[in-house]
Amino acid sequence: MKSFICSILLITWFSAFLECDSSDDEATIPSCIKTKIEQLKNAEVQNPPAQVWEWKVDGASYYYITADCCDQYNVLYDRNCTIVCAPDGGFSGMGDGKCPTFSESIQKTLIWEDTRK
């Protein structure tokens, strides 16, 4: 009986640890970005498939979302889903020219990619 209780406690502790770990990652993504990801999941697959990147720079987090196909801007959002700028894309491929000059190098992390075919 004692080993059974210890096993249950161990499984419970391990499950709680895994839940906290994944929810901590999820908690850092703003709800409005999660909504944008859900919209991408419910839309037709883009060509190339959509990606969402987190950019960390100058003490802030931004979210870069790739556009569907050719000559469209890839958009950078802040944590409130306000458009900051288009770093690249468009006819010239150089974006909209409205991005701030960051003083640090940008740490980019892929947070979602459409893997549908």
**pLDDT attached to residue 25:** 54
Using CA atoms, how far residue 81 sits from 2, 16, 56, 68, in Å, is 52, 31, 15, 19
pLDDT at 11 over 70: no
Distance CA 87, CA 90 (A): 10
**pLDDT attached to residue 117:** 86
Tell me the pLDDT band of 87, cut-offs 50, 70 and 90. Answer: very high
**pLDDT attached to residue 109:** 98
Question: Tokens 């770990």 map to which residue?
Answer: 21
**pLDDT attached to residue 15:** 36
What digits encode the pLDDT tens for the residues 72-85? Answer: 999 999 999 999 99
- For the whole model, what pTM was predicted? 0.77
23 vs 80: which has the higher pLDDT:
80
What digits encode the pLDDT tens for the residues 35-58? Answer: 999 999 999 999 999 999 999 999
**pLDDT attached to residue 26:** 63
Distance CA 100, CA 88 (A): 13
The tokens describing 112, both together, are 């979602």
Residue 9: in which H helix or E strand, if any? Answer: helix 2-28
CA angle 23, 29, 35 (to 5 degrees): 105
